[in-house]
Amino acid sequence: MVRDVCGSLGWDWPLTSWRRGRFARMASHCQEIISFLGKTGCMYMLHVVSGLSAASGLRVALDASAEHCRDRLVWFPDSLSVGPLEASDPASRLQWWQWWADMVIAQTGQPASRPGEGLAAFWGEVIGADHLVLWYGQGDAHDSAFFHAMCDRLSDNAFSVVTLDGASGAHTAEELARHLNDARSIPANERAAVRAAWKQLEQENQAFRILSNGNLVSAPEDYYDGALLNEASSQWTPIPRIVAPVMARMDIGDSPLFWRIKSLVESGVLVADDDPWLVEHSKVRLARGARWQANGEPGPPTACTHTQ
pLDDT tens-digit map of 60-112: 999 999 999 999 999 999 999 999 998 778 889 999 999 999 999 999 999 99
| Residue 94 confidence (pLDDT) | 93
The class (CATH top level) of 44-208 is alpha beta
| Residue 114 confidence (pLDDT) | 93
| Residue 45 confidence (pLDDT) | 92
| Residue 90 confidence (pLDDT) | 81
| Residue 6 confidence (pLDDT) | 40
pLDDT tens-digit map of 119-175: 999 999 999 898 999 999 999 999 999 999 999 999 888 999 999 999 999 999 999
Q: What is the largest CA-CA distance in the chain?
A: 89
pLDDT tens-digit map of 194-223: 999 999 999 999 999 999 999 999 999 999
| Residue 2 confidence (pLDDT) | 36
CA 107, 79, 266, 88 torsion: positive or negative?
A: positive
Domain layout of the chain by residue ranges = 1-42, 44-208, 222-286
Q: Which residue has the higher pLDDT, 238 or 27?
A: 238
- Work out the percent of the chain whose per-residue pLDDT is above 70: 80
pLDDT tens-digit map of 239-297: 999 999 999 999 999 999 999 999 999 999 999 999 999 999 999 999 987 666 544 44
Backbone angles phi, psi at 12, to 5 degrees: -80, 155
Between CA 1 and CA 133, with CA 148 as vertex, the angle to 5 degrees is: 55
Q: Are strands 72-75 and 283-286 parallel, antiparallel or unpaired?
A: unpaired
